[in-house]
Amino acid sequence: MIDFLVQSFQMKSMSFFEAGMLICFGASWPFAVMKTYKTKNVKGKSRLFLTLIIIGYIFGIINKILNSVDIVLWLYVINLLLVGTDFVFCLMYRNREN
């Protein structure tokens, strides 16, 4: 486990463009999560869309683990946690009328 963590923080094979994509995608999720949390309104949010995003991030994580463990793996994990949080809020607040 320690070797996995050390290896994931080595920058030797990091994909700059993949990291940039995940940073750009990830920059918007905290705002979406906070809006959902504050308003408790999920009108217009698609659980199917969020599910597909979650599946995509899971595939990205699996790819990183199997092929090229680097710090970008943690960007996938952070994004997955943010989208997962938004998905949970969608489930919690789906029956609210606003």
Tokens 């960007």 belong to 75
pLDDT of residue 13: 55
What's the number of domains the chain is made of?
A: 1
CATH of the domain at 74: 1.20.1280
pLDDT of residue 15: 82
Query: Does 69 fall in a domain?
Result: yes
Chain centroid to Cα 10, Å, comes to: 21
Query: Does 31 fall in a domain?
Result: yes
Whole-number Å distance between alpha carbons of 81 and 79: 5
Query: Does 89 fall in a domain?
Result: yes
Query: Does 5 fall in a domain?
Result: no
Query: Does 9 fall in a domain?
Result: no
- Is the overall model pTM greater than 0.85, yes or no? no
What does the CA dihedral 14, 5, 57, 87 come to, rounded to 10 degrees? -140
pLDDT digit string (tens) for the chain, length 98 residues: 666 555 555 545 568 888 999 999 899 999 999 999 999 999 889 999 999 999 999 999 999 999 988 889 999 999 999 999 999 999 999 887 55
User: Domain of 67?
Assistant: 15-93
